[in-house]
Structure 1
Amino acid sequence: MVYTIVVHLQALPEAVDKIKEKLIEAASIYRQDKETIDWIVMQDPKDDTKFCIVERYEQESSQQYHLGNPYWKTFDPYVVPLLAKPMDLTRWEEM
Structure 2
Amino acid sequence: MVYTLVCHLEAKDDDSIEKIKRKLIEAARVYRKDKETVDWFVMQDVNNPRKFSIVERFEHESSQKYHLENPYWKTFDPYVKP
TM bracket (short chain): over 0.9
**How far apart are 1:77 and its partner, in Å?**
1.2
Deviation of the 1:79 alpha carbon:
1.8
How big is the shift at 1:33? 0.2
Hey, what does 1:54 align to over in structure 2?
Answer: 55
Cross-structure match for 2:44: 43
Q: Gapped runs of 5+ residues in structure 2?
A: none
Q: How many residues align?
A: 81
Alpha-carbon RMSD? 0.8
Q: CA deviation at 1:76?
A: 1.5
Report the TM-score when normalising by structure 2. 0.94
Which runs of structure 2 are paired with 1:1-95 in the superposition (5 Å)? 1-13=1-13, 14-81=15-82
SS at match of 1:62: helix
CA distance in 2, matches of 1:30, 1:56: 10
Q: TM-score, normalised by structure 1?
A: 0.82
Q: Percent identity?
A: 68
Flag the structure with higher strand content: 1
Structure 1 residues not aligned, in runs of 5+: 82-95
- Point out 4+ residue stretches in structure 1 off by more than 6 angstroms: none
